[in-house]
Chain A
Amino acid sequence: DVKVTQSSRYLVKRTGEKVFLECVQDMDHENMFWYRQDPGLGLRLIYFSYDVKMKEKGDIPEGYSVSREKKERFSLILESASTNQTSMYLCASSFGQSINGYTFGSGTRLTVV
């Protein structure tokens, strides 16, 4: 069964900490995405990548960075965590055109205290 795996289901971090969220896919997909999901705001795109070592800003990149050193792995980095970054973070991957749809991971619920 094809999968997008996010390393942690629940994470609690302190304000100011550097936080790494890891995502691995086993489908050889070239496209990978990071979203955050908040009640009433839906899915908001943070960063995406169409190839190894390539990254593009999404709609809300401030306070985040990403790394894609290998095709299967896409990491989201919170440089200095803040309480307004408390959210559900979802990683997704896809191949080809968007009609193929995205495969999502189960999400990481991050709480910043």
Chain B
Amino acid sequence: QKEVEQDPGPLSVPEGAIVSLNCTYSNSAFQYFMWYRQYSRKGPELLMYTYSSGNKEDGRFTAQVDKSSKYISLFIRDSQPSDSATYLCAMSGYSSASKIIFGSGTRLSIRP
């Protein structure tokens, strides 16, 4: 079993829709949870990060962590064609030596 599971998609939604992207994980030691966005032919870039359980909002993006269920989500409100990209969840432990473990990514397409 992979430490981090993510549905690869592709996911296609109309412009303006609310998008929900999700990951599950198995390692209880994970404390930091991140979302990366990767445009075609580019490297991933850090979009948001949260520590432990709860919600964090940044503009149209909301990251949600439920440690009891080992489940994290990224919500995109009022989705735009420019949001079309691959979204990777990522997580790590608290130790300074902890590496980031990435999900395999969900390809998202926003139709104009």
Contact = CB atoms under 8 A, between A and B. Distances in A.
B8 interface: yes
A34 interface: no
Interface in B33-67: 34, 41-46, 49, 51
B104 interface: yes
Nearest to B96: A97
Given A43-B88, A43-B102, A101-B49, A96 B96 contact: yes
Nearest to B104: A42
A interface bracket (residues with beta carbon within 8 Å of B): 20 to 34
B interface bracket (residues with beta carbon within 8 Å of A): 20 to 34
Interface string B85-96: 000100011101
A23 to B, nearest CB: 11
Contacts, number: 53
Contacts of B98: 97-98
Contacts of B42: 106-107
A4 B45 CA distance: 12
Given A99-B49, A99-B92, A90 B8 contact: no
Contacts of A33: 99
A104 interface: yes
A35 to B, nearest CB: 8
A27 interface: no
Contacts of A48: 99
A105 interface: yes
B99 A107 contact: no
Nearest to A101: B46
Contacts of A43: 44, 88, 102, 104
Interface in B78-112: 88, 92-94, 96-100, 102-105
Interface of B: 6, 8, 32, 34, 41-46, 49, 51, 88, 92-94, 96-100, 102-105
| In the complex, the 3 A-B pairs of residues with the closest C-beta atoms, listed nearest first | A104-B43, A42-B104, A98-B92
